[in-house]
Amino acid sequence: MRWLVTGGAGFIGSHFVRTALTEEWTDEVVVLDLLTYAGNLENLRPVERHAGFSFVRGDICDPDVVAKSLVDVDAVFHFAAESHVDRSIESAASFVRTNVVGTQIMLDAARTAKVKRFIHVSTDEVYGSLALDAAERFVETRPVQPTSPYAASKTASDHMVLAAERTHGLDAVVTRCSNNYGPYQFPEKFIPLFVSNAMEGKPLPLYGDGRHVRDWIHVDDHIRGLRLAWERGGSGEVYNLGGECERHNRDIALAIVRAVGADESLIQPVTDRLAHDRRYAIDPQKARAELGFEPGPPIEERMAEIVDWYRENRMWWQRIKAGEYRGYYERMYSGR
């Protein structure tokens, strides 16, 4: 079987590719990735010599590159996206281009290439925000209500996937996952930013009152859920994948400083993100019942392992932080 993985040089996509090849989920993986600021070939180094691995540097918005990458492909796992909420607040254009237009180009090409299944990797952010004290959690039938430009662009892409399934009969499954953590996560995202800053003795910029709630899932649990969605999911279905692990941001920050052995005073409040969603809460019951999905242990049990990875791979994140990311960081957090 040959799989096409878009965005396979990013955080979650590369974890999927490394695991799919080393655990023999498939014989062949073609990665299509533009290598934007978030894409990093070092993430694929463990499998770069694997006989079944090939890499195409290209844009999902380029129909010719996409068509060539899809030759003899059985399944598409579509990860490629602009993925950072804060960047979407700074400028939304690239989010609409990649997440909406790029997904539509992928869908058209997958149909032409007669791909057997299209797995669209989406997010719980499409559901919008819950009150801290709300009894409900996100279920797949809940109307979508995205607030950030990132979430709005992912919502639009979900609709395009479901429309292609209904209108053209493309076999497609949408998964909506909560906040991922794990190795190789780009160090401008919450957990790797805080872990790496704590290791460097730098401030940990915590948005607002720190009481925002996110559901945390290890990237390894997420990609196993994606495999199950490919294997057992119904075409045209949406599956929520979550970690059953809702935590306040401040509690995650505290767990990080403890695991790193840093001082709590490094945690410093900064002006809240615009329209910052208060709470995300995934109900993964449908995935559990229909796919056999089970999230692993809670984040506290994995924090030491995560911190160890970032400690042992200092060069990986230091190189990134020294590069393009520095200008972005200055714009976001300087003077606060």
Ligand X SMILES: NC(=O)c1ccc[n+]([C@@H]2O[C@H](COP(=O)([O-])OP(=O)(O)OC[C@H]3O[C@@H](n4cnc5c(N)ncnc54)[C@H](O)[C@@H]3O)[C@@H](O)[C@H]2O)c1
Question: Residues with catalytic annotation?
Answer: 124-125, 150
**Please, are residues 14 and 183 in contact by the beta-carbon 8 Å criterion?**
no
Q: Which structure tokens are listed for 181? A: 């953590």
Q: How far is the CB of 263 from ligand X (least distance, A)?
A: 27
Alpha carbon 130 to its chain's center: 20
User: Shortest Cβ distance from residue 138 to ligand X (Å)?
Assistant: 12
Indicate which single residue of 154, 218, 224, 279 sits in contact with ligand X (rule: CB under 6 A). 154
d(CA 102, CA 252): 34
CA proximity to 107, closest of 72, 144, 70: 70
Residue nearest to ligand X (CB): 10
CA nearest neighbour of 151 among 96, 108, 105: 96
The answer to the question of residue 197 lying near ligand X (CB under 6 A) is no
Contact flag: residue 194 with ligand X (CB under 6 A)? no
Minimum CB distance to ligand X, residue 302 (Å)? 15
Element (H, E) at 29: strand 28-33
Binds ligand X by CB under 6 A, chosen from 69, 83, 148, 240:
83
Contacts to ligand X from residues 86-145, by CB under 6 A: 98, 102, 121, 123
- 81 near ligand X, judged by CB under 6 A: yes
Site string for ligand X, 30-69 (x = CB under 6 A): --xxxxx-xx-------------------xxx--------
Q: Is 109 exposed, middle or buried (0-12, 13-18, 19+ CB in 10 A)?
A: buried
Q: State the DSSP string of 211-250.
A: --EEEEEEHHHHHHHHHHHHHHPPTT-EEEE--S-EEEHH
Residues near ligand X (CB under 6 A), total:
31
Q: Which two tokens stand for residue 217?
A: 């899932």
Residues that bind ligand X (CB under 6 A): 6-7, 9-13, 32-36, 38-39, 59-61, 79-83, 98, 102, 121, 123, 154, 177, 179-180, 186
